[in-house]
Structure 1
Amino acid sequence: MEIKQSTLKNGLRIITAERPQIETVSLGVWVNTGAAAESEADNGISHFIEHMVFKGTKKRNSLQISEDIENVGGATNAYTSRHFTCFYAKMLKDDLELATDVICDFITDPTFDAAEMSKEKEVVVQEIKQSADAPDDLVFDYFQEAAFPNQASGRTILGTPEHVRGFNKERMLNYMRTHYTADNMVAAAVGRVDHDKFVKMVEERMNTLPAHADFAEDPQYYVGGGRVECKDIEQTHLVLGFKGASYMDEDYYNYSVLSTIFGGGMSSRLFQEIREKRGLVYTINSFNQALKHAGVFGIYAGTTPKELEELLPVVADEIKKMMNDKVSETELKRAKTQIKASLLMSLESSSTTAEIMARQMLLFKRVIPTAEIVERIEAITADDLQLLAQKIFTSTPTYALLGCEGGTYPSYDDVKALLK
């Protein structure tokens, strides 16, 4: 797979990877902005813009957008994360120009019609309420807020109903003028695509974008803390976290290997000890959530109030084992193989490949060769992981718990004492 890159005069970067053996092309535009770039007053605006561009542009109304794509059997969608907003499509190869036109139109010519905006605000408010009714979503909102208090990364991606209902066309256009600049986005396409033709398609539609706007995203700092809440639910949801890796950390992949051994699958330590041997949970896993300037290493579990009394001490014991003893060569080899296999399997998807290339270009200003990633993973040792475990698990913890009404649950201080 040959990766080609070009940069337009206004600074917009374009990446392609041709796969001549397939009949489709996956493409998108990734914008280097998301919830972490928002002020408190604008919390949720990135996500709301993502919704509103589908409600109409100067060329197409909402129905025409859907019909133009679906009439040729294609699909288009979008997402917002803490650092990125993405608009993407998958089409048959002969319909690449149509998809490019629709996606570029989202970015250059959204109308933000007042009537459509009024309706879509209530759609997003329903999305916010639906998330609040999902305990396994809500506990992670509490967790983020406790880990990153009074920071953009501690606020939700969706925003609040009050914020969403307060957005207007001028605020949204101002936000786009600041963040939707050519040097702050990447267009990528993977599949049956000719690089030069795709560059021309994008250039014809995006060459009028402003090259640059002065904006610096505030660095985010892991702090840690605790929050315990109760609702009318059947199960207790728990997230326990520590300072983790950012995307920029040299030992980023060390965190991935450690997390895989600790709670990354059915053969992991947490799954085997807590679910298989003791039957204390249905779900338990660990993760490293990376941000640009910070990160959090965490453990999620869903259990009952009764089992929680046994669960937390067992988790604490497993943490201490990770700090005190080296992982076995069998565990290390298995984790490395799992991560490498997951990476290589993901690259079989043209959509995932486009996303990986675009995100790497925005974060690191280059596409990282797969062989380089594999080499970094292979270089990790058991000694590295023991030192890393000691670093992670001695940092200030974050503890978020969403329990059943009427229950009594450990406090943040209780959990800190358990981890000593």
Structure 2
Amino acid sequence: MTELMHTLPNGLRVVTAPMPHVETTSVGVWIDVGGRHERADENGVAHMLEHMAFKGTRRRTARAIAEEIEGVGGYINAYTSREQTAYYARALKEDLELATDIIADIVLNSTFPEDELARERSVVCQEIAQVNDTPDDLVFDLLQEAAYPDQAVGRSILGKPDRVGRFSRQELEGFMGRGYGASRMVVAAAGAVDPDEFLKLAEARFGHVADSPMERPEPSLWRGSQLVDERAIEQVHLAFGVDGVAFDDPDFPAVQVLSNLLGGGMSSRLFQEIRENRGLAYSVFSFAGSMMDGGMVGVYAATDPEALGELQPVLADEIRRAADDVDEDETARSRSQIKAGMVMALESSSARLEQIARQTLIYGAPPDTAEWLELVDAVDAAAVRRVAAKLFGSGRPPALAAIGPAAGLEDGARFAERFG
């Protein structure tokens, strides 16, 4: 696949990834602004802004936005992360212009009607309540806060109900004015798209966008701590993490292979030992997340409270062994899973869109898939053992979060001693 990038005079980047054998087109705008760009008193505003973008523009009502894209069989959506906000749509190839126009309209022309804002405050507060009632989601917010307490990167993307319920139109407009600038945007399309045609569409709709003065976010500072939410529920939801690597770290590919090897599938060490051999958990997996200036590698498991005392030592044993006895066959299997997963995903125009837009924001240019696959292929067992020892044996305090009847939980310091 060939990706093409063009930078408009205002600094906005336009990226296309033609996929000649598909009949759909995915188009979107990715913006280099998210939860970690918020000041403490505006936590949740980036997510609220994303919601409100769909609630009416100078040209379309909220209902018209939905009816126009669904009227041609397409769909439209958005998300907010800690570092990025995205708005995207998918439609048949003949509806590329309509999809591009709607995306541009909601990003650039939203009016934030007061009556819609009042309703959406309530909707987002209900979303927060839903997460609070879903421990396997909430535990990751607690883990992030435990890793980065009192920092923007450690706060919930959704915000807190008492603040979300008071966001004003002026606050939304102020945050958009600071963050939604041309040089912070990537406008992208993937699938059945002609690069020259899409460039003209993007120039017509985004060529006038001004730049923004948003300040750089505060650096992330790992401070690993422990947070426990005691609840009378059936299981304990446990998550822990250690200080990881940034996107541009040379060890990034090796960390991905390590994480997948530990808990990325049914053949992984954690799944085999904890679920298949011991029956200690139904759900157990590892994860490796990165940011522009840091990251986290860790494990999630849900278990019966009576099994918690056995689960933590087994987790630690499997992690410790990864620094000692990972072999080439196991590493090769993990590499193959990562490569196959990536290539299979890229057969979808929406997945391809996500990849080219996000990675252009992260690395400054569209990804070279062949180069990334070569980097994964270069990871051998020695590299996996080395990064396992570096990450889990650093001596830095882990972040530990648990929800449920967690009286049997080992504290983070004792737990770290087990795999250090």
TM value normalised by structure 2? 0.97
Cα distance in structure 1, aligned partners of 2:410 and 2:321: 22
Distance (whole Å) between structure 2 residues aligned to residue 317 and residue 3 of structure 1: 44
Secondary structure of residue in 1 paired with 2:156: coil
Aligned residues: 418
Query: In structure 2, the residue corresponding to 1:298 is in which secondary structure?
Result: strand
Which deviations, in whole Å up to 9, do the C-alpha atoms of 1:154-202 show, x marking residues without a partner? 1111111112112111111111111100100101101121212211112
- Name the residue aligned to 1:404: 405
Compared CA separation, residues 63 and 214, structure 1 to 2 (3 A) = closer
Q: Is the 8 A contact 2:19 2:193 kept in 1?
A: yes
Q: State how far apart, in whole Å, the 2-side matches of 1:412 and 1:376 are.
A: 34
Separation in 2 of the partners of 1:69 and 1:187?
Answer: 18
d(CA) in 2 for partners of 1:22, 1:386: 41
Structure 1 runs (4+) deviating above 3 angstroms are 416-420
Structure 1 segment 293-308 matched on structure 2, within 5 A? 293-308=293-308
Q: What is the CA distance between 1:2 and its match in structure 2? A: 2.6
AA matched with 2:136: D
Letter in 1 for 2:240: L
Q: What is aligned with 1:170?
A: 170
What is aligned with 1:338? 337
Unaligned runs of at least 5 residues, structure 2? none
SS in 2 for 1:55: coil
Cα deviation for residue 110 of structure 1 reads 0.5
- Once residues 364 and 248 of structure 1 are traced to their aligned partners in structure 2, the CA distance between those partners, rounded to angstroms, is 8
Q: TM-score under structure 1 normalisation?
A: 0.97
Cα offsets for 1:331-370 (capped at 9, x unmatched): 0110010011011111101111111011111111112211
RMSD: 1.3
The SS at the match of 1:271 is helix
Once residues 352 and 21 of structure 2 are traced to their aligned partners in structure 1, the CA distance between those partners, rounded to angstroms, is 16
Distance 1:128 1:315, change over 3 A: same
- The residue identity in structure 2 corresponding to 1:234 is E
Contact 1:6 1:13 in 2 (8 A): yes
Q: Which residue of 2 aligns with 1:57?
A: 57
Q: Which amino acid aligns with 1:275?
A: R
Paired residue for 1:360? 359
What is the deviation of 1:79? 0.8
1:380, CA displacement in angstroms?
A: 1.2
Shift of 1:61: 0.6
Aligned to 1:373: 372
Structural mapping, 1:183-198, within 5 Å = 183-198=183-198
Q: Matches of 1:19 and 1:63 in 2, distance apart?
A: 32
Amino acid in the other structure paired with 2:405: C
Distance 1:109 1:282 in 2: 47
Give the Cα–Cα distance (whole angstroms) in 2 for the partners of residues 215 and 228 of structure 1: 34
CA gap 1:417/1:376 in 2 versus in 1, 3 angstroms: closer
Separation in structure 2 between the aligned mates of residue 71 and residue 384 of structure 1, nearest angstrom: 51
1:288 equivalent in structure 2 = 288
| Contact 2:11/2:182 (8 A) holds in 1 | yes
The amino acid of 2:349's aligned partner reads S
Distance 1:326 1:249 in 2: 24
Deviation (angstroms), 1:417: 4.2
Report the counterpart of residue 244 of structure 2 in structure 1.
Answer: 244
Alpha carbons of 1:273 and 1:214: their partners in 2 closer, same or farther (altered >3 Å)?
closer
Counterpart-to-counterpart distance in 1, 2:380 and 2:2: 32
After superposition, the C-alpha distances for 1:377-408 in whole angstroms (9 at most, x for unaligned) are: 11112111111111111232111111228x44
* 1:316 aligned partner: 316
SS in 1 for 2:186: strand
Query: What amino acid sits opposite 1:401 in the alignment?
Result: A
- Listed as ranges, the gaps of 5+ residues in structure 1 are none
* Identity among equivalent pairs (%): 45
Note the C-alpha offset of 1:127: 0.2
> Residues 66-85 of structure 1: matches in 2 within 5 Å?
66-85=66-85
Counterpart of 1:203? 203
Q: Is contact 1:3–1:15 with CA below 8 Å preserved after alignment?
A: yes
- Aligned residue type for 1:15: V
- Return the alpha-carbon distance in structure 2 between the equivalents of residues 182 and 176 of structure 1: 12
Deviations along 1:10-35, one digit per CA (max 9) or x if unpaired, are 11100111223322111100011111
Contact 1:22 1:192 (8 Å CA) reproduced: yes
What secondary structure is seen at the aligned counterpart in 1 of 2:222? Answer: coil
- Summarize the alignment of residues 39-54 of structure 1 with structure 2, pairs less than 5 Å apart: 39-54=39-54
In the alignment, the residues of structure 2 paired with residue 357 and residue 327 of structure 1 have an alpha-carbon distance, to the nearest angstrom, of 33
Residue in 2 aligned with 1:141? 141
Q: Could you say which residue in structure 2 is the equivalent of 1:156?
A: 156
Classify the secondary structure of the residue corresponding to 1:221.
Answer: coil
The aligned runs of 1:106-125 (5 Å cut-off) are 106-125=106-125
Find the residue that maps to 1:76 and give its secondary structure. strand
Moved more, 117-126 or 216-225: 216-225
Tell me the alpha carbon deviations over residues 214-256 of structure 1, each in whole angstroms, 9 at most, x when there is no partner: 4212221222111122112111010121111111211101001
Tell me if 1:23 matches 2:15: no
